[in-house]
Structure 1
Amino acid sequence: MTATPGLTSRREQILATAAELFAARGFHGVSVAELGTACGISGPALYKHFASKDAVLAEMLVSISEQLLAVGRERVATAPDAPAAVTALVDWHVDFALHHKALIVVQDRDWSSLPGDAREEVRRLQREYVDLWATQLRLLDATLGLDAARACAHAAFGLINSTPHSGKLPPEAMRELLTVMAVRALGAADRPGRRTGRGDSP
Structure 2
Amino acid sequence: MESTKPRRQRDPDRRERILTAAAELAARRGFHTVGMADIGAEAGIVGSGIYRHFDSKEAILIALLDQIMARLQAGAEAVLATGADERASLSALIRDHIRVAIQDRDVLAVYHREIHNLPDDERRRLRRLQRHYLEDWVHVLAPLRRDLADGELRLAVHAAIGAVQSTLFFRSGLATDRLTELLDTMAHACLGVTAAPSELLVTKA
Shorter-chain TM-score range: 0.7 to 0.9
**The 10-residue stretch of structure 1 (40-49 or 173-182) with the greater mean CA deviation from structure 2:** 40-49
Match of 1:179 in 2: 184
Deviation at 1:43, TM superposition (A): 1.8
Aligned pair partner of 1:150 in 148, 151, 154: 154
Map 1:120-139 onto structure 2 (within 5 A): 120-139=124-143
For residues 79 and 187 of structure 1, do their structure 2 counterparts lie closer, same or farther at Cα, with a shift above 3 Å needed? Answer: farther
- Residue matched to 2:7: none
Q: Which amino acid aligns with 1:180?
A: T
Deviations 1:46-75 (A, max 9, x none): 110011100000011122112201211211
TM-score (norm 1): 0.87
Residue 62 of structure 1 contacts residue 121 of structure 1 at CA under 8 Å; is this kept in 2?
no
TM-score norm. by structure 2 comes to 0.86
Percent of aligned positions with the same letter in both sequences? 37
Distance 2:171 2:27 in 1: 16
The offset of 1:149, in angstroms, is 1.5
Query: Aligned to 2:143, what secondary structure does the other structure show?
Result: helix
Task: Quote the residue 1:100 is aligned against.
Answer: 104
Distance 1:47 1:174, change over 3 A: same
Deviations, residues 138-197 of structure 1 (Å, cap 9, x unaligned): 02122322222121111111100011314111011000111012123312206xxx3425
Q: Which residue of 1 aligns with 2:198?
A: 196
Which among 15, 19, 28 is matched to residue 19 of structure 2? 15
1:167 aligns to 2:168 (yes or no): no
Q: Aligned with 1:140: secondary structure?
A: coil
- 1:68-109 Cα deviation digits (max 9, x unpaired): 012112112215211111101111011111111112321222
Q: Distance in 2 between matches of 1:111 and 1:83?
A: 32
Q: Which residue of 2 aligns with 1:4?
A: none
Partner of 2:35: 31
Is the radius of gyration larger for structure 1 or structure 2? 2
Equivalent residues of 1:90, 1:182 under 8 A apart? yes
Alpha-carbon shift at residue 20 of structure 1 (Å): 0.3
Please give the alpha-carbon distance, in whole angstroms, between the structure 1 residues aligned to 2:25 and 2:133: 27
